[in-house]
Amino acid sequence: MAGAFSGLLAFLISKMDGVGGLEGWRWIFILEGIATVLVATVSYFLIWDEPSTATFLSESEKAIIIDLLADSRASIRANQLEERSATDWKQVKLALVDWQVSDLIPSVNDD
């Protein structure tokens, strides 16, 4: 939705060319910057850091989410350790065989 309306909004704002002695593109930066600061300020107070601080969740919902997050973090760490040891050399080989890397190496080593 934002992508559909951003171009139209920018077009309309750019028609403010000359208002206040500023070009239209400057108005785009000013108004969209103000909107960004307002959204960031509101979001700071509405987005919770942890499930335990979310006031809209019941205690049982908080406990379930905290357990799910702990399980998820543990499985991600285990997968990362597994992948790190198993795929390092495979990734190096894939990078060296890639034609873009192969074409770049002579230009880097050119004396």
Distances in Å between the Cα of 47 and the Cα atoms of 40, 43, 96, 100 are: 10, 6, 44, 43
Residue with tokens 């108004």: 31
Largest CA distance in the chain: 67
13-51 per-position pLDDT tens digit: 888 888 888 898 899 899 889 999 999 999 998 888 888
DSSP state of 18: T
C-alpha–C-alpha distance, residues 27 and 23, integer Å: 7
Question: Where along the chain do its domains lie?
Answer: 1-47, 51-111
57-107 per-position pLDDT tens digit: 999 999 999 999 988 888 887 777 666 666 677 778 888 888 887 777 777
